[in-house]
Amino acid sequence: MLKINIMPQGTLAIYEQIINQLKNAIVSGELVAGEALPSIRNLASDLAVSVITTKRAYEELEKEGLIRSVAGKGFYVCEYNTDYLKEKQLMMIEKRLSELITEAQHAGITGKEFLEMVKALV
């Protein structure tokens, strides 16, 4: 079963954390086309979050064409273009890194110090 980890103090909203982890599971092949996802209520219960939060995450993934809703049956992973999805993820990571670099510069952190922090965390 897919494991989603929520970081309440994280910089991303909880629904965004769910979206990102589901996208990663799709890109990595952990979730495959046609595979059923947990119901909105079950996922909310498992993660100890609001049903509204999980519903929003599923709605966003459905808008992106990554999952689809089947009336009375639940949500399923769609056929997808993994190269396209990976490229979108890379763009999102680059954007967030750029924001962090700007923040670090404002804090007086050098490029070398920033890279050392990244290496220590990887």
Two structure tokens written together for 116: 């050392």
Give the residue from 62, 89, 87 showing the smallest Cα distance to 74: 62
Two structure tokens written together for 96: 């967030």
pLDDT at 90: 86
pLDDT at 26: 85
Two structure tokens written together for 4: 């989603």
pLDDT at 82: 67
Three-state secondary structure call for residue 91: helix
pLDDT at 17: 95
CA gyration radius, the chain:
17
pLDDT in tens, 68-122: 999 999 999 988 666 777 787 788 889 889 999 999 999 999 999 999 999 998 8
| CA gap 70, 25 in Å, rounded | 21
pTM of the predicted model as reported, rounded to 2 decimal places = 0.70
Instruction: For residue 51, give every residue at least 6 positions away whose Cβ sits within 8 Å of its Cβ, in sequence order, or none.
Output: 40, 41, 44
Band of residue 44 on the pLDDT scale cut at 50, 70, 90: very high
pLDDT at 65: 86
Instruction: Report the pLDDT averaged over residues 6-13.
Output: 87
